A and B are shown apart, each in its own frame.
Chain A
Amino acid sequence: MARKRARVPAAVLLIAPSLVVMTALFAWPLLVGIGQAFSGPDGPTTAYLRRMADDPYFWPAVRNTALLVVVLVPLQFAFALTMALLLRERPRFAGAHFFIWVIPLAVSDLAAGLVWLSVFADRGYLNSTLDHLGLDGYAWLSYENTTSMFLTVVVAELWRSTSLVLVIVVAGLQGVPKDYDEAAAVFGATYWQRLRHVVLPQLRPSLQVALILRTILALETFAVAQALTGRNLPLLVGETYQWYNVLQNPNVATAIALVVLAVSMLAAIGYLRLLRDRTVTR
């Protein structure tokens, strides 16, 4: 008993530095940020918020960011699940395939944007290939073609960030005992039935974590779009960058940053609520 009590301070001592670092770099700027966004030279003000909302780039940025999350996240979950299930079939050269599939895990969003710029640029590799095939090129990244611009960002992000979901799902699949699946097969369940009723339910914890992570990370997307389209396809975090670095207005930049933070927090809480309710009723 005495020993156990003596251990408490040791543990606290060991975690204290990490608590200090994280609080200092999370709570402190948060407070300063709220001050920056809501107070001007003469007291509290909503001027910066209004300036943010009146900016012609703001609402398109909100729309694009929301659209990106809604389109990208389901798409990449389907993609990652397909990849993980393919690996589960133990194809030949599985190790080599897996290596190539997870390389983007370590590629930054800026680098991914530049990689796909070489593909989608007007005189890039996609239009070159089309030309080799005798087809006409297309101005994928032109500011006039909002749809194709958006699609290039989706493709680049799908390429870059699906590997994170893949690794989580593959790790989750390793924890799923094969017995259940085999038992279901013995009783005549088809592949889809087994997937739907045996494999996916057991993957649920992994999928939940991946879903929360990816939704929040997708809200933060910015350098990919910056590299591919500049400001032609505005995204929320990209606007923070613009207001801070180019327009040199830290107050409006902070206001946008707080919007991103608030939406992320809502998304996280929303997911946790939703998922917890599910587990209770299950």
Chain B
Amino acid sequence: MSGPRRWRRAAVQAACVAVTLFMGVPLYLITLAALSSRESLNRFPLPLLPTDPSTETMSTFLRSTGVTGGFINSLTVGLGTVVLALLVGVPAGYAVARYAFRGKDTYQLFLLLVRALPIVVLSVPLARVFLDTGLYDTTYAVMLIHTALALPTTVLITAAIFVGVSREQEEAAMIFGASAPQAFLRVVAPQALPGIAAAAMFAFMLSWNEVLGATVLTLNQRTLPAQVLTTLSDSPLAYRFAGGLALVLPAVVFIAVMRRYLLNMWGTTLR
């Protein structure tokens, strides 16, 4: 009995290591590529170990036209998206969690529809709208479409969080004379804060990663991914690798911070 069992354990371990290699090695390689000198990237075969690490490729990328601006625009758009999505999404999430109202099912279906349909492909007609309203080629334009993208998830996540905050405490505060907004700010908000932070990070990441809408809606105010995408075809490999690492790094940090929340977020929001 213990023989086959041990084999089974070993096979599971080996399979886990294999999957981890498949998922992890590309991350290692892009880091290696982005931290090699331009000269060593021209060598063939490429060394598979960091023989002479150099920041040359990375610093050349960071100094290229549009990259610093792209960073700043990406940050602006990301933070703006977070603020807008929370401002609009948190009240809605609270309503979904606490109130029974007519049309609630329809509203939730609408959320799912907006979440599921590829609304970024509507960036092209949206560019027309923004051209007419003077919003085209501004960070606000990109913020707006990213907010629309992030909203359904923000509402669903925050709703899941508010369901978890005890209603009795809120009502107790109101009995002792707090108004509804006061009760929300003093009692509910502190308890919901970690979850809201998770929703905020999710919105930021979504905005940081989105490329099609950002490319279509801007000309000069490119976000970082839009800048990398539009200069892709006429830039050397070293630039592309450095751009790849610059885009991947925040993702690793994001997952490291959010690991605890991931399952709750997807588990509760999707059912």
With A118-B30, A174-B263, A223-B229 given, is the CB distance from A103 to B251 under 8 Å? Answer: yes
- Verify if A281 is at the interface (C-beta below 8 Å from B): no
Please name all residues of chain B whose beta carbon is closer than 8 Å to the beta carbon of A10 when the two chains form the complex. 95, 99, 180
A75 to nearest B CB, angstroms?
13
Closest to B228 in A: A110
Identify which of residues 83-100 in chain B touch chain A, using a CB-to-CB cut-off of 8 Å: 84, 87-89, 91-92, 94-96, 98-99
Q: Given A25-B126, A110-B209, A125-B46, list of 20 further CB < 8 A pairs?
A: A15-B96, A25-B122, A26-B117, A29-B128, A32-B125, A91-B12, A99-B256, A100-B20, A101-B23, A106-B255, A107-B248, A115-B30, A115-B248, A117-B237, A123-B46, A168-B267, A227-B240, A254-B125, A260-B121, A264-B117
B125 close to A33 (CB less than 8 A): yes
B16 close to A26 (CB less than 8 A): no
Where the two chains meet, the residues of B that have a C-beta atom closer than 8 Å to any C-beta of A are: 9, 12-13, 15-16, 19-20, 22-24, 26-27, 29-30, 32-33, 42, 44-48, 84, 87-89, 91-92, 94-96, 98-99, 101-102, 107, 110-111, 113-114, 116-129, 144-145, 147-148, 151-152, 155, 180, 205, 208-212, 215-216, 225, 228-230, 232-233, 237, 240-241, 243-244, 247-248, 250-252, 254-256, 258-259, 262-264, 266-268, 270-271
B118 close to A14 (CB less than 8 A): no
- Verify if A230 is at the interface (C-beta below 8 Å from B): yes
Q: Is the interface of B mostly helix, strand, loop or mixed?
A: helix
- Indicate the member of A14, A100, A118 with the most B CB atoms within 10 Å: A118
- Could you mark each residue 1-31 of chain A with 1 if its beta carbon is under 8 Å from any beta carbon of chain B, else 0? 0000001101111110111011001101110
B45 close to A99 (CB less than 8 A): no
Partner of B29, one of A119, A123, A175: A119
- Indicate the member of B9, B15, B270 with the most A CB atoms within 10 Å: B270
B247 close to A29 (CB less than 8 A): no
With A15-B107, A22-B110, A99-B256 given, is the CB distance from A257 to B151 under 8 Å? Answer: no
B208 close to A108 (CB less than 8 A): yes
Bound complex: CA A114 to CA B208 (Å): 16
Please count how many residues in chain A sit with their CB below 8 Å of the partner chain's CB atoms: 99
With A168-B270, A223-B212 given, is the CB distance from A21 to B88 under 8 Å? Answer: yes
Closest to B99 in A: A11
Bound complex: CA A183 to CA B113 (Å): 39
A250 to nearest B CB, angstroms?
6
25 contacting pairs across A/B (C-beta < 8 A): A10-B180, A12-B101, A18-B89, A22-B152, A33-B122, A86-B15, A97-B20, A98-B259, A101-B19, A102-B259, A103-B255, A108-B210, A111-B209, A111-B225, A114-B240, A118-B26, A128-B44, A128-B48, A159-B22, A171-B264, A237-B118, A237-B121, A240-B212, A250-B125, A257-B122
A36 close to B128 (CB less than 8 A): yes
B164 to nearest A CB, angstroms?
16
Closest to A83 in B: B19
- Verify if A220 is at the interface (C-beta below 8 Å from B): yes
Please name all residues of chain A whose beta carbon is closer than 8 Å to the beta carbon of B263 when the two chains form the complex. 167, 170-171, 174
Closest to A9 in B: B101
- Verify if A219 is at the interface (C-beta below 8 Å from B): yes
- Verify if A157 is at the interface (C-beta below 8 Å from B): no
Bound complex: CA A98 to CA B16 (Å): 9
Closest to A37 in B: B125
With A91-B12, A114-B240, A159-B22 given, is the CB distance from A8 to B102 under 8 Å? Answer: yes
Please name all residues of chain A whose beta carbon is closer than 8 Å to the beta carbon of B22 when the two chains form the complex. 159
- Could you mark each residue 155-182 of chain A with 1 if its beta carbon is under 8 Å from any beta carbon of chain B, else 0? 0000100011001101110110000000
Partner of B88, one of A12, A18, A129: A18
- Verify if A124 is at the interface (C-beta below 8 Å from B): yes
A157 to nearest B CB, angstroms?
13
A26 close to B95 (CB less than 8 A): no
Partner of B13, one of A22, A91, A171, A241: A91
Where the two chains meet, the residues of A that have a C-beta atom closer than 8 Å to any C-beta of B are: 7-8, 10-15, 17-19, 21-22, 25-26, 28-30, 32-33, 35-36, 82-83, 86, 89, 91-94, 96-111, 114-119, 121, 123-125, 127-129, 131-132, 159, 163-164, 167-168, 170-172, 174-175, 205-206, 209, 212-213, 216-217, 219-220, 222-223, 226-227, 230, 237, 240-241, 244-245, 250, 253-254, 257, 260-261, 264-265, 268
A106 close to B45 (CB less than 8 A): no
Please name all residues of chain B whose beta carbon is closer than 8 Å to the beta carbon of A257 when the two chains form the complex. 121-125
A100 close to B23 (CB less than 8 A): yes
Please name all residues of chain B whose beta carbon is closer than 8 Å to the beta carbon of A163 when the two chains form the complex. 23
Please name all residues of chain B whose beta carbon is closer than 8 Å to the beta carbon of A110 when the two chains form the complex. 209, 211, 225, 228-229, 247
B48 close to A115 (CB less than 8 A): no
